[in-house]
Amino acid sequence: MPHLTDRFRLAVAQLDPAVGDVAGNLELARKARAEAAEAGADLVLFTELFIAGYPPEDLVLKPAFVAACMEAVERLAEETADGGPGVVIGCPLRNADGLFNAVAVLDEGRVLTWRSKVDLPNYGEFDEKRVFQAGPMPGPLNYRGLRLGIPVCEDIWGDLGVCETLAESGAEILLVPNGSPFYRGKLDVRHQVVLRQVIETDLPVVYANKVGGQDELLFDGASFAFNADRSLAFQLPQFKTGIFLSDWVQGGEGWRCEGGSVASIPDDDEAVWRALVLGLADYVNKNGFRSVVLGLSGGIDSAICAALAVDALGASRVHCVMLPYRYTAETSLEDAAACAKALGVRYDTVPIADPVEGFLSALGPMFEGTTAGITEENLQSRARGVILMAISNKFGAMVVTTGNKSEMSVGYATLYGDMNGGFNPIKDLYKTEVFCLARWRNENHPDDLLGPAGEVIPERIIVKAPSAELREHQKDEDSLPPYEVLDAILEHLVEHDGGVDELVAQGFDRDTVTHIERLLYIAEYKRRQSAPGTKVTRKNFGRDRRYPITNRFREGG
């Protein structure tokens, strides 16, 4: 094998492995290594738990799964006897000391060594301490004469001193395999984390991150490296897979990347749109659905979900259905049809008067003498949910549900009605963000989106007052504050675990805040039964925010 004394070529495999697909992920690794070999790479860096897919959660508690992963790594190791590039690849490791989130280093036809993650994250979406043991503090390894340090993901985020230990032990460069989920502004956070380690160690750091959706999580790639002098060595694209090469030269002051490329990074709105598109596409495709179906009401939420679905899957795989009742405005019928036409999707109308009236007739004797209200309104939503699920069952299309984060926060959604569905693309978007992104999409069309360019969400949908249209002249703001106010309150309560008094001190009305706080708490039981949706904020419902359903605490009294 060549001795890397003054130059080496590194390939970063920024790919989208699927959780549990050990054979598929092994084949993905083989193809990546072959491509890297063709390009003259000396080493291929894969991402965290690549062979298993990330995060594997409790799959790693199944001995047969871990054994399959480790066997796949052994087979890949045998192939490195061909003299091509070595491999750094993430894989769960079980040995006499326990179960570890580990990295295998492969060369010369064998596994040279394993390195295990030291700092196991146990916050937000991460709960690795419940399945893995912490690894021992690592030292550098000798790879063809080059001394590599391989901290794993959280090892560079925490304060255990993993990187400093590697530097003090003689590491010349740090290669970091990651599974770092996306949220708005996350790339800047990663850059700052890596720069802190560069400053503390005086070593270059290569940060390799995976791409793709896994249930609620979305991984955006955007791998990068910093030289020891804190300059950006290279920046890979966001949301795109590929094998990316970088050339490193040993000079008088250590290793430095030579001529690394710097990809353009999308602005925040484009990044969120791309994250939602990729999250939906991977959920549908990885779970084997041929197509999706959704109710298109003429409102902003269903319109933006339809646009996201077409961008993710193409118009031929998206079916939109209008489900009108007596309270559906003529303008809603027109707007839904216009949206479907702009997107180029199949569009059908299924009136719900007969099923709703059937429910009311069946329940009439029991409801006699009571006042009509929310119960009767919800029958409309539940009739729509039943019809969409029937279409799903008949044609194999997954139902896309369309409730935004503002609605999910305060419980303005109907269980077994509009909450029916397999996936919710906008579950982590507040209503004000929905409006913002709708305007962004009408004005922008990145080339790799599958939907058409131009105005795909009619302007009239964006500007009209939001309404569930469950009764005459109903508007959302009949029972909620304006969305600008509501979302500001919710962001404080949800994203920051803030308090009522703090909001009142900022100028919000106390009665309004305490009302919203109460709605937030009592809607927890609904959120537990809601479809998953792509995380794009720091704190989404489900993985990040785990509040009890039975909960009598109220700060507002």
Catalytic residue annotation? 48, 117, 153
H or E element in which residue 7 lies = strand 7-14
H or E element in which residue 490 lies = helix 483-490
3-state secondary structure of 247: strand
Name the residue among 126, 124, 160 with its Cα closest to residue 48: 126
Phi, psi values for residue 89, rounded to 5°? -140, 140
Pairing of strands 141-143, 146-149: antiparallel
Name the CA dihedral angle for 121, 547, 537, 307, rounded to a multiple of 10 degrees: 130
Name the residue among 204, 208, 230 with its Cα closest to residue 149: 204
| DSSP3 helix / strand / coil % (the chain, rounded to 5) | 40, 20, 40
- Which residue type does 193 have? V
3-state secondary structure of 417: coil
Distances (CA, A) of 504 to 385, 499, 513, 519: 39, 9, 8, 17
For tokens 């491999």, the residue is 87
Gap between the Cα atoms of 529 and 421, Å rounded: 11
Phi, psi values for residue 192, rounded to 5°? -65, -40
3-state secondary structure of 461: helix
Judge contact between 293 and 347, C-beta under 8 A: no
For tokens 């530097």, the residue is 167
**Prior bond to 55 cis, omega within 30?**
yes
For residue 87, what is the DSSP state?
E
Beta strands in 108-231 (DSSP E): 110-116, 141-143, 146-149, 173-178, 205-209, 211-214, 217-220, 224-226
Judge contact between 261 and 17, C-beta under 8 A: no
Alpha carbon 468 to its chain centroid, in Å, reads 28
3-state secondary structure of 304: helix
Q: Which residues pair with 541 in a beta bridge?
A: 545
Gap between the Cα atoms of 69 and 246, Å rounded: 28
What residues contact 142, with CB distance under 8 A and at least 6 apart? Answer: 148
For residue 494, what is the DSSP state?
I
Distances (CA, A) of 413 to 46, 91, 240, 428: 42, 41, 34, 14
Neighbours of 370 (CB within 10 A): 10
Judge contact between 292 and 314, C-beta under 8 A: no
